[in-house]
Amino acid sequence: MTHIVEAMHVSKVFHHTASGHPETALQDVSLTVEQGKITALIGPDSAGKTTFIRMLCGLMFPSEGQLNVLGEDITKKAEEVQDRLGYMPQKFGLYEDLTCMENMNLYADLHGIPEEKRTERFNKLFIMTGLAPFTGRLAGKLSGGMKQKLGLACTLVRSPDLLLLDEPTVGVDPMSRRELWEIIKSLVKEEHISVLVSTAYMEEAELCDDVYILNKGRILAHGTPEEIRNRSQGLSYWMPVPQGIPARVVQSALLDEEEHIEDAVPERGGVRFVIKRGETLADIQALSLYPSCKAVAIPCRLEDSFMMILREAQKRERLMEGFELDYTAKRHISSHVDIHVHNLLRTFGDFVAVDHTSFDVHKGEIFGLLGPNGAGKSTTFKMLCGLLPASGGELSVAGVNLRTARAQARANIGYVAQKFSLYGTLTVKENLRFFGGAYGMSKKKIFERMRVVLRMFNLEGREEDIAGQLPGGYKQRLAMAAGLLHEPKILFLDEPTSGIDPLARRTFWRQITALAAKGTTIIITTHFMDEAEYCDRMMIQDQGKTIALGTPDEVRKRGGDNLTMNEAFIAIVEDNRKKEAEENG
């Protein structure tokens, strides 16, 4: 038996939905997972990835089609199949009141692993996941990345025949992500298990043997990463940017020229772009804006093809109004300091969450705050927004400490939280109107601005939709719309792109670029290291301490020569940890 999973024309329709209309989650999906291979399922939000994986576990049944897992019809022999599966849901249900060891033991007991086999297996898993020092810690007290690793360890208490992973790395920092993949890889090698993983990270998909691209419940493409990657062969280029113009502006110029360009991202201080098949560099008008910069061909990668395939299937949204950009405007950073942080300290008991951090953010700058899970980014953020008192040090935002300043001072800032945090039971319009009122705007002003932001974020026609029932990407847009309604001078964005797909991320950054050009100061945290390339300056925190601060170029060079931001980040953090360890003996 080589087909571990065999899906034939599988469809899934949900009849009892919040909106009352039946929704088709999957349509005519045919897919196979082969013995001993890692198969990736990639696709944008609400493509149907989670639904499909849940069906493989027998937690849902297909509406149509045949679904065989481990040689059995899953609708008939769900329990037998479950015995042989390992399944890690997007948010693994750890028992937070139990320690790591107790969680592991629970799953070992459920799977009937004899005591004598446990010690060895657990040791191996704990060492693999780096959880060995924390076996006695309550699961609820672990950081996000550690929780994911513990979740994986729990699913691996015994070697399953098929391992199903549903976006195991969402919200997980690059270090933990790399570690997770090393574990998966070595398992496949040593224990010959088969893996099906859904992911939003293209570099993860490149590590797999077989890739399916899923969009709106349909399979768009299938092949090895190489086959898929080669679809965009010869289309990828990199160009430097003229002195003084931010890479994101040049990238925007290219991205906006959608008739010729498939995709563009800032990379290594320049711009990486993919042209449409059949086009040549000469066709691209945007390039003529920057005559001094010459584009060079570079090898293509999976993400290029992914974007290409998605763009074919999905009409690109018109660029929303209000984000027009001067493609040749020089970087202008005023000397005015909007955010000043000096020796900022925050402790929780003995634990130092933010350790004497200092930085300034200038007006009109995009400032990126990066770091592994638990590095203190969110704590820093909360202190800046006045949500948490600082234990020591100075901080001022627009000249005041928001925690102690008059409430009106908060009108200067906009805040978009990590997870969707608008009122889920209110409609889009009701949410916006409420926040307008909360910011003390007049009725007329609210009405005007509401029209503007609805148009900006392409939410027109969705005014009466219940916010909680919007698809993921739209929720994020609504959050942005609400954050920008009162035209704040400073915008705080806490992992705004976590869990959203590459297409939506391009749009998001295109909007941020335009906002910054208009003089809005932006401070942002992210787990996608390549997104640091959009920033003017960035800071890397680890264990509460600042370990790098500077322009993306400077930071990248600190990590080594010719690295991507992701690689540089890992190098810097590991280097620093090594140094710390040496100092501490």
Binding track over 13-32 against another protein, x by CB under 8 A: -x------------------
On whether the CB atoms of residues 178 and 185 are closer than 8 A, the answer is no
Q: Write a three-state SS string for 86-149.
A: EEECCCCCCCCCCEHHHHHHHHHHHHCCCHHHHHHHHHHHHHHHCCHHHCCCEHHHCCHHHHHH
Q: Which residues contact 487 (CB under 8 A, 6 or more apart)?
A: 449
Q: Does 437 bind another protein (CB under 8 A)?
A: yes
Question: Which residues ranging from 414 to 433 are in contact with another protein (CB under 8 A)?
Answer: 415, 417-427, 430, 433
Q: Which residues pair with 40 in a beta bridge?
A: 197, 211
Question: Which residues ranging from 296 to 355 are in contact with another protein (CB under 8 A)?
Answer: none
On whether the CB atoms of residues 154 and 128 are closer than 8 A, the answer is no
User: Whose Cβ is closer to another protein: residue 109's or residue 226's?
Assistant: 109
Helix 100-111 × helix 144-155 angle, to 10°: 20
For residue 257, give both structure tokens.
């020229």
Write down the least CB distance from residue 180 to another protein, Å. Answer: 17
Question: Which residues ranging from 519 to 548 are in contact with another protein (CB under 8 A)?
Answer: none
Of positions 9, 76, 91, 518, contacts another protein by CB under 8 A: 91
Q: Does 59 bind another protein (CB under 8 A)?
A: yes
User: Whose Cβ is closer to another protein: residue 114's or residue 291's?
Assistant: 114
Of positions 1, 282, 407, 581, contacts another protein by CB under 8 A: 407
User: Whose Cβ is closer to another protein: residue 264's or residue 481's?
Assistant: 481
Write down the least CB distance from residue 112 to another protein, Å. Answer: 6
Q: Does 147 bind another protein (CB under 8 A)?
A: no
Q: Does 217 bind another protein (CB under 8 A)?
A: no
Q: Does 58 bind another protein (CB under 8 A)?
A: yes
For residue 47, give both structure tokens.
């493509």
User: Whose Cβ is closer to another protein: residue 162's or residue 459's?
Assistant: 162
Q: Does 110 bind another protein (CB under 8 A)?
A: yes
Rounded-to-integer distance, Cα 396 and Cα 403, Å: 10
3-state DSSP assignment of residue 565: helix
Rounded-to-integer distance, Cα 364 and Cα 379, Å: 23
Q: Does 75 bind another protein (CB under 8 A)?
A: no
Residue 21 has φ and ψ, to the nearest 5°, of: -95, 145
Question: Which residues ranging from 461 to 480 are in contact with another protein (CB under 8 A)?
Answer: 466
- Residue 481, CA atoms < 13 Å, CB-side half-sphere: 32
Q: Does 93 bind another protein (CB under 8 A)?
A: yes
Of positions 45, 107, 216, 452, contacts another protein by CB under 8 A: 107
Question: Which residues ranging from 171 to 190 are in contact with another protein (CB under 8 A)?
Answer: none
Write down the least CB distance from residue 199 to another protein, Å. Answer: 19
Binding track over 363-392 against another protein, x by CB under 8 A: ----------------x--x--xxxx----
Rounded-to-integer distance, Cα 73 and Cα 521, Å: 56
- Residue 251, CA atoms < 13 Å, CB-side half-sphere: 27
Q: Does 101 bind another protein (CB under 8 A)?
A: no
Q: Which stretch binds another protein (CB under 8 A): 266-274, 413-421, 537-545, 548-556?
A: 413-421
Which helix (H) or strand (E) segment holds residue 289: the answer is: helix 285-289
Of positions 11, 24, 28, 111, contacts another protein by CB under 8 A: 111
Write down the least CB distance from residue 266 to another protein, Å. Answer: 29
Rounded-to-integer distance, Cα 432 and Cα 447, Å: 10
Q: Does 105 bind another protein (CB under 8 A)?
A: yes
Write down the least CB distance from residue 565 to another protein, Å. Answer: 28
Q: Which residues pair with 29 in a beta bridge?
A: 10
Range list of β-strands (E), 311-398: 337-348, 351-362, 366-370, 392-397
Rounded-to-integer distance, Cα 206 and Cα 202, Å: 6
Q: Which stretch binds another protein (CB under 8 A): 276-284, 287-295, 412-420, 448-456?
A: 412-420
Rounded-to-integer distance, Cα 456 and Cα 511, Å: 9
Of positions 62, 89, 168, 368, contacts another protein by CB under 8 A: 89
Write down the least CB distance from residue 84 to another protein, Å. Answer: 9
What count of other Cβ atoms lies within 10 Å of the Cβ of residue 568? Answer: 24
User: Whose Cβ is closer to another protein: residue 403's or residue 577's?
Assistant: 403
Of positions 23, 34, 83, 283, contacts another protein by CB under 8 A: 83
Rounded-to-integer distance, Cα 195 and Cα 59, Å: 18
User: Whose Cβ is closer to another protein: residue 54's or residue 505's?
Assistant: 54
Residue 491: DSSP 8-state? E
